[in-house]
Structure 1
Amino acid sequence: MVTPVHIRPHTAEIYLDCNATTPVLPHIAQAVEHVMEQVFGNPSSSHITGLQARYILDNTRRLARQVIGAEKGHVVFTSGATEGIQTAVLSALSAARQQHTTGRYLLYGATEHKAVPQALEHWNRLLGVNAELKAIPVDHNGLLDQQFIADHVADALMICTMAVNNETGVGQDLAALEQVIRQHNASVPWMVDCVQALGKQALQLARTSIDYAPFSGHKLYAPKGIGFLYVRAGSPFTPLIIGGGQEQGLRSGTENLPGIAALHTLFELLLDKQQAVFHDHATLSGYRDQLLTVLRRVFPTLELNHDLALSVPTTLNFSVRGVPSRDIMDVFDAANIRISSGSACSSKVPRSFVLDAMDLAAWRSQSAIRLSFGPATSQATINAACERIQHAASALRHSCLLLADTNEDIDSDLDGVVQLRFDNRCCYLIIDKAARQLVVIDPLPELAERIERLVQCQHYRVRAVLTTEPHDSQSPAAMLAQLLCASGCGAARDAVGWPLEVPTVCPAPIDCTVPVHGCLSIGDRRLFRVGSRQPVYLLSSPLPNSSAEQLRVDFAFIGEQENAAVILPMVHEHSLLCSSIDDDFSLVRKPCELADGCAECNLDDVIPEADTDWLDGSNTLVIDVREQQEHEVTPLPVKAEVINVPLTRLAQFIYSHREQLQHRPILCICRSGQRSAVAARVLHRHGFTQVRQLIGGLTLLAN
C-alpha cells in the first residue's frame, strides 16, 4: 500500500456536480449517527428498541407521502433509484406476461437515464416478453414527441419518462404527457423517473395516473444507498427482493434505518416553511444567472445546450466551441472546481447521448459540460465559484485553448514534436520555435480548431499539412490546409498534402535504402518523405556542422503500424516511431518493438514504493504529466524538483533528455494516476531506469 503524501490543495474544493451526487448535510449526518448509535434496533422486533426503530420507519414514510403528494398508494424504501426502476419494470412486465396483455412496444424517452432502457431490455429478455424497445424522440429542447407517443402508446406494454433530465435539467410537462398517454391507453403502466425533481419541483403524485416513481436520497443531501419508490394504488407489483416480509412484503431485507433516518430529516426540511437551508426558486435562478454571466464572459463562444425557461434552476449544460470537455474539466479540476461532462454514469463516453438525441451539433455533444449545484448551495460558494472560473479560464487562454486578444504565451515554449490525441487516433505537430514554423501530420477533424487557434495564437508559418494515407479534397488534411494557408502553407500540394515546390533531391545526406520523395525544411531540421501512395515521414536531427556528416533520423511518423517495415533499415535504435493509431496508449515506440525478439520492450508498469522519501528526495525529479494549464492552476508544493511534461510533449522530452536523465530517480504524477501510468511505462521502455508513478494520482493524496 502506498503511504499517502500530504500535499494540500492551494484552495478549498468548490463542488458543482450535485446532479451526480451531493454531500450529506451536517444535521442529516447527525441523524444518521444518532440512529446508528442510539436507535439501532430492528424495526421488525417487538421490544422497545425495535419499536423505537419502527417509529422512525413509519414516520419517515408518512413524511415522504407529504413531500411527494401521495396520500394513497405505496411508498417502499429501496437502496436507490436503480432498484426502484428495476422493481417498476419487473412489476409491469410480469403483469403483462401473466395477464397475456397484448402489446408490441416498450416505450422510453430517448434522453432517459441508461438504467431505464437497460432494465427494460434485461427484464424483457429474461421474462420472455419479447417486446420491441422503442425510444421516444425529443426535440431540440429535449421535450418528448407527444405525437410519437400518441401513435405508439396504444400498442405499448409500458411507457417510461422522466420528470427532470439529469444532464440538462430540462423538465417534462407531466400533465400534457398524462393527457396524451391516457387518451390513447388508459391502463398502460407509466413510470416517471423523479430523481432530479425531488426538492426542485412540486409533486402531487396521487393526483396523477403515474404508476411508479423512483427516488434516490443521495441526489439531495442524504447518504448513498437509500431511496424510495412510489407505487400508485392498484398498479401491478412484483417484489424484486423476496424473503422476510419487510415493507409489507413489497421489499424484503432488514430496512436501512440510518438511511431512512436521513430521509426523515431531509423530508422535515422540505416541509418546513421556516427553514433556511434550502433556497427558493428565485434565489436559485439568481445563482444560475450569476454563474452563466461569468461563464459567458470568459468563454465568448459558449452555447447553452438547453432552454433555461424549461429547466430547473440548479443545472447549466453548455459547450465551448473548439474546446473539448476534457480540457475544461481538467483545468477546472486543477482549480478545485468539480464539474462533469454529462452524466456521471457515462463519464467515460466521449459524447453526450442526451444532446445527440436532441439533435444538437456534434461538437456540442463532444464538448458538453454540466455544472450543477443544489438547493442548499450558499451565495458564498457561488461567489467563490465565479472567481475561480475566471482563474481557470485564464489558464485555458494562456495555453491557446481559448483565443483572446490578451493571450499569454504559455504555449510559446512548444518546440519539437507534439502529440495530440482524440480517442485512439494521434496527430503530430512538428514545431520549430526559433523559425516559427510548423508541420501537421495526420490531422483529425476534432482537433482542427485546436490547431488553428494554436497557429493564430503563436503566429506560426505552416509549412505543410500531411497525411500518411492518400485522401481526396474532403480529407481532414486538405480541409485543415485550406484553413491554414493564410499562415503560409502553399496551395500547390499533392494528394497527401506534400508541397509540390519542395526539392526532390535531399540537400543533406541521409542513409536512404529506399527512395526518398523529397525533403521539407523545418528550421534546421529536414522532414523526408518515404513512399508515395502511403508515405511515412522521417524527421532528421538538426543539420550537422560538417557537410560530410550524415543526418540521423530522430522521429519516424509511420501512420498505421504495418507501414513501418519499409523504414526500419533507415532508423537507429534510439529513433522514436510515432503511429497514427495508438490503442495501447504506448505513445511512441522503439524500432525493436516492430522487429522480432524485442524482449526488453515487454515491461510491467512500475509501482512507487510505500515510503515517500522519493517525493522529497534531493535527487528525485517529479514529472507532472498534466497539461500545462492544469499545472499552472495547481503547482505541486513539494521539495523535489518539478517539471511539467504533458503527454503531448513526452516524445520530445524522451528525445531531448534521455541521455542525461535516464538513470535519475523520476516520479510521474497526474490528477488520477492514468496519465502518469502511461508516462512511466513509456519512459521505462525508452531506457529511463528509475521511473515510478503515483498510484491514484493527486486524487488520492491526503488533505
Structure 2
Amino acid sequence: MREIYLDNAATTKPLECVIEAVSETMRLEYGNPSSLHKKGIEAENKIKESTAFFANLLGASEDEIFYTSGGTESNNLAIIGSALAYQKTAKRIITTAIEHPSVGDVFTYLKGQGFDVIILNVDEKGYINLEELEASINEETSLVSIMHVNNEIGTIQDIEKIGALIKKKNPRTLFHVDAVQSFTKIPVSVRKAQIDLLSISAHKFYGPKGVGLLYKNKKVRLQNMLHGGGQQKNMRSGTENVPGIYGMYIAAKYVFNRQREILEHYKACKTYLYTRILNEIEGTHLNGDVVEVSAPHILNIAFEDIRAEVLLHSLEQNHIYVSSGSACASNKMSKSGTLAAIGLNGQALDSAIRFSFSIDVTEEDLETCVDVLKKQLVLLRKFTLGGKKR
C-alpha cells in the first residue's frame, strides 16, 4: 500500500536534486571554506552562491545572511542574542501565545533571567490584537517576536502592518519574525515589513535537515552564542555546513522557480480535504481561519469524541501519516498551547489533527485519506473517552 505522508509542516522529503547537490558537494567541494587554498575557495564559492540567492529573495544584502543549524538555532540566536545585547537599556520583550516552542521556551528562559516578558493573546482564529501589541510597547522594549505563519493552524499574521506599528511606537524596538513555516509559501520582504531578524529552516521546503538561516539587519547588535573560530563575522563560530547550505539553496531555487504551480497545488489539496471532511464526516470543525486566507499547506481539523492520538495511530496503521500538533512536542502528546490560546478546552483540545501538504500529495492520496477516516471514525467513535457509546 502506498504511504501517504501528510505531515509536511513537520518536515518535507528532500528533493532528488537536493540529495544529488548535497552528495556532490560533499564529494567535490569538501574543503574548509575558511582555508585559503583552492579547495577552501571552492567551498567558499558554494556559500557565496547560496548567500547571493537568499539575499536577493529576502530583499537583504549579502552581509546580512547568517547560516545556522536550523529554525531553532536561528530563533534562539535572534531572541537571546538581541535580548542580551540590549539588556542594559531595554529589558522588555514581547511575543505571542501561539509561538513555536523554539520561541516560546526561549521567552520562558529569559523571564527566568529577569527580563520583562509580555505574552500577547490571540483571538479564536489565532490573530493577535494590534491594539494590545501597541499598548505593550514602551521605551524599554527591545524586541517583538511574532511568527509569520502558525505551524499548527496556519494563521498568517500581517507582518507588514505589525512591523509598521512597532517602528512607529518605538523605532529602536527590534522585530523578529519566525518565517520557518511561511518561507516559500507567503511572500516576505524584510525591508518592506521592517523586519530586523528573520528565521528560516531548510527542511520545511524540501531541503536537508540540520541547516537554516538567520537574516540580521546590519544595524542590529547580537551577542553571539558560540565562541571559537570567528566564522560568519564572529556571529556564529564553527565551520560552515557547506553541503547543507548549498542543498538549502537548491531546494529554495527549485521551489521559487515553480512557486505558482506549487502553491496552487497546496491550495487544491487543502480545499479538497477540508471540503470532503467537513461535508462527509459529522462532528468535525476547522481550527484557525477559513481555508482561503490561511496558509495553503496547513489544515487543522477537530474530530469530536475521539482523542487525536488514537486517530493518529489508527491512520498510521493504514500508512497515512499526520500530526496532532507541533513536531517538537507531538511525540510527547502534550497539550497544544496554540489550540488552548484560541479557546479550545476539554475534549476539543485533544481532538485536533493537522494535515499538511507537499508537491508529492495526489488527489488519490487525499481520497484514500477521507475513505480511511470515515471507516475508522465509525469504529473509534463507538467508545468515548469514558467508554460510553456515541
What's the TM-score, normalizing by structure 2?
A: 0.93
CA distance in 2, matches of 1:258, 1:72: 19
Residue equivalent to 1:366: 350
2:42 equivalent in structure 1: 52
Q: Percent identity?
A: 28
| Residue number in structure 1 paired with 2:287 | 305
209 and 278 in structure 1: CA distance in 2 versus 1, 3 angstrom threshold: closer
The 1:278–1:336 alpha-carbon spacing in structure 2 relative to 1, beyond 3 Å, is farther
Q: 1:370-425 CA distances to partner (integer Å, 9 max, x unpaired)?
A: 00012x234xx33223224303431331x2x347xxxxxxxxxxxxxxxx9xxxxx
- 1:451 matches 2:382: no
Taking the TM superposition and a 5 Å limit, the aligned residue runs for 1:323-342 are 323-342=306-325
Alignment-derived partner of residue 83 in structure 2: 93
The yes-or-no answer on 1:318 pairing with 2:306 is: no
Q: What amino acid sits opposite 1:293 in the alignment?
A: T
Structure-2 separation of matches of 1:81 and 1:102: 25
Q: Alpha carbons of 1:383 and 1:69: their partners in 2 closer, same or farther (altered >3 Å)?
A: farther
Q: Alpha-carbon deviations, 1:290-310, whole Å to 9, x = none?
A: 112332244221100011233
Q: Is the 8 A contact 2:58 2:189 kept in 1?
A: yes
Residue of 293, 315, 325 corresponding to 2:275: 293
1:600-611 paired onto structure 2 within 5 Å: none
- Matches for 1:157-306 after TM superposition, within 5 Å: 157-272=142-257, 275=258, 279-306=261-288
For residue 391 of structure 1, what is the amino acid of its counterpart? Answer: V
For residue 355 of structure 1, report the CA deviation from its aligned partner: 1.1
The aligned counterpart of 2:141 is 156
Give me the whole-angstrom Cα distance separating, in 2, the residues matched to 1:447 and 1:121: 33
CA contact (8 A) 1:159 1:189 kept: yes
Residues 296, 221 of structure 1: alpha-carbon distance in 2 compared, 3 angstrom cutoff? same
Question: Which 10-residue stretch deviates more, 205-214 or 225-234?
Answer: 205-214
CA distance in 2, matches of 1:25, 1:278: 18
The AA in structure 2 aligned to 1:447 is L
Contact conserved, 1:71 with 1:206, CA < 8 A, in 2? no
The one of 90, 93, 112 equivalent to 1:106 is 93
Q: In the alignment, what sits opposite 2:61?
A: 71
Please list the CA deviations of residues 154-198 of structure 1 after superposition, one character each: whole Å capped at 9, or x if unmatched.
Answer: 142321100000001111011221232222211112211000011
Residue pair 2:184, 2:256 contacting (<8 A) in 1 also = no
Q: Whole-Å Cα distance in 1 between the matches of residues 207 and 196 of structure 2?
A: 25
SS at match of 1:377: coil
Q: Name the Cα RMSD after superposition.
A: 2.0
Q: Contact 2:270–2:297 (CA<8 Å) still a contact in 1?
A: yes
Find the structure with the greater CA-based Rg. 1
AA of the residue aligned to 1:354: T
- Counting matched residue pairs gives 387
In structure 2, distance between residues paired with 1:176 and 1:30: 40
Letter in 2 for 1:306: G
What residue number does 1:386 align with? Answer: 367
> TM-score scaled to structure 1, two decimals?
0.53
* Inter-CA distance 73–184: structure 2 relative to 1 (3 Å threshold): farther
Deviation of 1:96 after TM superposition, in Å, equals 1.9
Summarize the Cα distance change of 1:323–1:298 in structure 2 as closer, same or farther, 3 Å threshold.
farther
What residue is the counterpart of 1:510 in the other structure?
A: none
User: How big is each residue's C-alpha offset from its partner over 1:467-515, in whole Å with a ceiling of 9 and x where there is no partner?
Assistant: xxxxxxxxxxxxxxxxxxxxxxxxxxxxxxxxxxxxxxxxxxxxxxxxx
CA distance in 1, matches of 2:219, 2:66: 15
TM alignment of 1:489-508, pairs within 5 A: none
- Give yes or no for contact 1:332–1:389 (8 Å, CA) kept in 2: no
* Native 8 Å contact 1:199 1:270 kept in 2: yes
Structure 2 distance, partners of 1:71, 1:77, is 14
On the 8 A contact 1:156/1:188 being kept in 2, the answer is yes
More helix by proportion, 1 or 2? Answer: 2
Name structure 2 gaps, 5 residues minimum: none
Structure number with greater CO (CA < 8 Å, separation at least 6) is 2
Deviation, structure 1 residue 232? 1.1
What is the Cα deviation at residue 44 of structure 1? 1.1
Q: 1:232, 1:326 → 2: CA distance? A: 42
Give the match for residue 657 of structure 1: none
Take 2:369 and 2:286, find their aligned partners in 1: how far apart are those partners? 20
* Residues in 2 aligned to 1:117 and 1:356: alpha-carbon distance in whole angstroms: 14
Q: Which amino acid aligns with 1:396?
A: L
2:148–2:178: 8 Å Cα contact kept in structure 1? yes
1:122 maps to a residue whose letter is: Y
Q: Which residue of structure 2 aligns with residue 139 of structure 1? A: 123
Change (3 A) 1:73 1:169: farther
Distance in 1 of aligned mates of 2:270 and 2:369 = 16
Instruction: Give yes or no for the alignment of 1:116 onto 2:106.
Output: no
- Letter matched to residue 377 of structure 2: L
Q: Which residue of 2 aligns with 1:577?
A: none
- Report deviation, 1:218: 1.0
8 Å Cα contact 2:142-2:172 kept in structure 1 = no
